[in-house]
């Protein structure tokens, strides 16, 4: 393609995004694109523009240095792709993005005025924690088909089926009765026995005497229901009702609608929210997708409550390793607690001895020792700094001997993230189901379907712990590490509750259950076809 025509095509594409190329930048880009085939040219230009927009830009005039960095990023070799196949991402390595309401996009922390996160957060960090949760759910809800304004000229019946979110500030400013409104806010209990709804504009007391707690019904459109869930304090809800004399009388509760990962990425492009070495989302990589589909033997094994101080548990692990020796899994994920009696002054030494015993068993099976990886996620009662999330990995003085014997082992944070080819997996070890059930504003009428209630709540909230901070403490500045937005492919809830497998909004949610308490059951995940196999070690 002629240089002038190529230059015009590239400059035109940048102008479509509101960007202008300086002469030197346009000249460099034209030279860089000369080697690109006609079929790949358009995609390459779009990828370069995406890479440019991710950089901190002071104005819309693009310098040569900015274009050089973008071209370099888009020219990743196949060798770098191999590095991106399998990665364990600790909570403190997850990138932070802040939603900008004016630009309607997520910006990396470096492009905002927010300070770097600190374990010893300030009062502002605590306020930002809830504000960020609210803003993410608000922008997601506004995009849902039921809450988007009708286009001009649409049929009147279609306009009537749309809803409009109100803020608490608009209610507090009314002296007369306000009927049939929907408000997005957080449930709080500011006074003993009295619940309130809170958003960034204000707070209003709730009257729940007439609320339909679990099948949310919006009066203007009888066909619309939001699925049931576990309504706890500090979770965000869509509240339908009327306002009068300072009280919001609730007719129905519902959660903000969930949104699939594909829908979210259609709005925000290839931004890598998940973390890992890739500069863009791995979802966009055709090479990784091909590798994922071709490797049908890939297998992940998940176990929780691996009590290494119990002889019976070690024997069951030996049986499991012997069964997998002929076809070693890609990775074993062991979640804590790693001791059945996590207390006493000798617990550190005891845990080191237990890990040594596990390493000896692994070394008995050379195929597993050489081919499989081992990832350890600490539990709430394992040695470490209290129960505040995110929790750092087990300390090096405990794990040093094990890592020397088993080189392919990783001791990571709780929660942690796993990126395998194009798939994104979150692993979280916490007894969350019982905590959420205990802290429900109103418990479900039937407890037969608790896993579905639980999964719906977590995905709707876009957060792993939608609970009050006194129930589930979080480092305020690191609350973003607990987000489940955009939705990953798989979430592993390593909970002592009964094992379950639930799929919701294209997100597979797994609970392997407590290994010793559930009769030595565990879960096996096959990434190539996204299936889960329930497994159990039977007594001999």
352 contact partners, CB below 8 Å, separation of at least 6: 398, 401
Q: Is 498 helix (H, G, I), strand (E, B) or coil?
A: coil
Q: Is 145 helix (H, G, I), strand (E, B) or coil?
A: coil
Strands (E), 68-177: 86-90, 97-100, 105-108, 165-166
Q: What are phi and psi of 184, to 5 degrees?
A: -95, 120
**Which of 378, 397, 403 has its CA nearest to residue 389?**
378
Q: What's the mean pLDDT in 184-194?
A: 93
CA 319 to chain centre: 34
Q: What are phi and psi of 214, to 5 degrees?
A: -125, -25
pLDDT score recorded for residue 230: 92
- pLDDT tens for 198-235 read 999 999 999 988 765 433 434 333 332 334 789 999 99
d(CA 29, CA 37): 15
Burial class (CB in 10 A: 0-12, 13-18, 19+), 397: exposed
Q: Residue 170 has which token pair?
A: 């608009």
Give the mean pLDDT of the chain.
89
Q: Residue 159 has which token pair?
A: 């306009």
Q: Is the peptide bond before 486 cis (omega within 30 degrees of 0)?
A: yes
Least confident of 39-53, 189-203, 315-329: 39-53
Number of H helices, E strands in the chain: 16, 24
pLDDT score recorded for residue 539: 66
Q: What's the mean pLDDT in 41-54?
A: 84
pLDDT score recorded for residue 82: 58
pLDDT score recorded for residue 150: 64
d(CA 522, CA 192): 42
Q: Comparing 398 with 343, which gets the higher pLDDT?
A: 398
481 contact partners, CB below 8 Å, separation of at least 6: 91, 92, 94, 390, 415
pLDDT exceeds cutoff 80 at 492: yes
For the residues of 294-355, what is the DSSP string, one character each? Answer: H-TT--EEEEE---TT-HHHHHHHHHHHHHHTTS--SEEEEES---SS--STTHHHHHHHHH
d(CA 302, CA 333): 5
Decide: 337 and 305 in contact? Cβ < 8 Å.
yes
pLDDT exceeds cutoff 70 at 163: yes
For the residues of 386-455, what is the DSSP string, one character each? Answer: TTPBSBPPPPHHHHHHHHHH-SSEEE--BSEEEEETTEEEEEEE--HHHHHHHTBSS--S--TTHHHHHH
- pLDDT tens for 80-119 read 555 689 999 999 999 999 999 888 889 999 888 899 999 9
Q: What are phi and psi of 459, to 5 degrees?
A: -70, -35
d(CA 499, CA 305): 13
pTM over 0.75: yes
**Which of 401, 411, 414 has its CA nearest to residue 465?**
414
Q: Is 386 helix (H, G, I), strand (E, B) or coil?
A: coil
**Which of 261, 271, 277 has its CA nearest to residue 106?**
271
**Which of 482, 476, 468 has its CA nearest to residue 127?**
476
Q: Residue 194 has which token pair?
A: 């009295």
Kindly indicate the confidence band of residue 160, based on its pLDDT and cuts at 50, 70 and 90: low
d(CA 163, CA 149): 8
d(CA 391, CA 92): 9
Kindly indicate the confidence band of residue 443, based on its pLDDT and cuts at 50, 70 and 90: confident
Strands 178-191 and 236-244: antiparallel
Kindly indicate the confidence band of residue 157, based on its pLDDT and cuts at 50, 70 and 90: low
Strands 300-304 and 331-335: parallel
């Amino acid at each position: 393609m002629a240089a002038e025509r190529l230059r015009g095509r590239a400059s035109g594409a940048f102008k479509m995004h509101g960007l202008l190329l300086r002469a030197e930048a346009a000249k460099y880009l034209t030279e860089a694109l000369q080697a690109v085939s006609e079929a790949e040219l358009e995609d390459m230009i779009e990828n370069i523009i995406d890479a440019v927009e991710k950089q901190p830009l002071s104005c819309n005039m693009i310098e040569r240095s900015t274009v050089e960095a973008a071209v370099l990023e888009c020219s990743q070799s196949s060798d770098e792709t191999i590095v991106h196949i399998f990665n364990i991402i600790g909570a403190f390595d997850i990138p932070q993005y802040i939603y900008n309401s004016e630009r309607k996009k997520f910006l990396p922390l470096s492009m905002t005025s927010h300070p770097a996160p600190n374990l010893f957060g300030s009062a502002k960090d605590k306020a930002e924690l809830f504000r960020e949760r609210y803003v993410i759910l608000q922008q997601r809800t506004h995009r849902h088909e039921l809450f988007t304004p009708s286009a001009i000229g649409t049929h009147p019946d279609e306009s009537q089926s749309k809803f409009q979110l109100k803020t608490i500030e608009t209610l507090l400013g009314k002296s007369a009765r306000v009927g049939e409104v929907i408000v997005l806010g957080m449930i709080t209990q500011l006074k003993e026995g009295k619940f309130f709804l809170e958003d960034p504009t204000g707070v209003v007391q709730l009257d729940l005497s007439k609320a339909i707690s679990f099948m949310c019904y919006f009066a203007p459109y009888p066909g619309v229901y939001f699925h049931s869930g576990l309504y706890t304090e500090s979770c965000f809800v869509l509240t339908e009702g009327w306002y009068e004399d300072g009280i919001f009388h609730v007719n129905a509760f519902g959660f903000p609608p969930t949104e699939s990962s594909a829908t979210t990425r259609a709005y925000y492009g290839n931004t890598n929210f998940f973390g890992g070495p890739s500069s863009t989302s791995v979802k966009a990589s055709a090479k990784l997708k091909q590798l994922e589909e071709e490797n049908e033997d890939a297998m992940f094994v998940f176990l929780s409550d691996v009590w290494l101080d119990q002889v019976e548990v070690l024997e069951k692990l030996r049986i499991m390793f012997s069964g997998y020796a002929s076809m070693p899994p890609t990775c074993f994920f062991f979640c804590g607690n790693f001791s059945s009696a996590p207390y006493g002054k000798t617990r550190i030494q005891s845990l080191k001895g237990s890990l040594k015993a596990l390493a000896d068993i692994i070394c008995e099976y050379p195929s597993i020792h050489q081919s499989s990886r081992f990832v350890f996620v600490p539990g709430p009662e394992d040695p470490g700094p209290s129960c505040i999330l995110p929790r750092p990995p087990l300390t090096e003085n405990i794990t040093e001997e094990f890592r020397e014997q088993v080189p392919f082992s990783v001791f990571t944070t709780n929660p942690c993230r796993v990126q395998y080819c194009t798939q994104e997996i979150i692993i979280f070890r916490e007894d969350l189901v019982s905590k959420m059930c205990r802290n429900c504003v109103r418990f479900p009428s039937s407890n037969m379907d608790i896993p579905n209630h639980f999964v719906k709540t977590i995905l709707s909230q876009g957060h792993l712990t939608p609970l009050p901070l006194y129930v589930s403490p979080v480092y305020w500045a690191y609350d973003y590490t607990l987000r489940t937005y955009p939705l990953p492919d798989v979430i592993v809830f390593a909970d002592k509750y009964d094992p379950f497998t639930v799929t919701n909004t294209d997100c597979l949610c797994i609970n392997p259950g407590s290994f010793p308490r559930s009769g030595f059951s565990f879960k096996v995940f096959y990434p190539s076809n996204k299936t889960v196999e329930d497994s159990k070690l039977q007594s001999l």
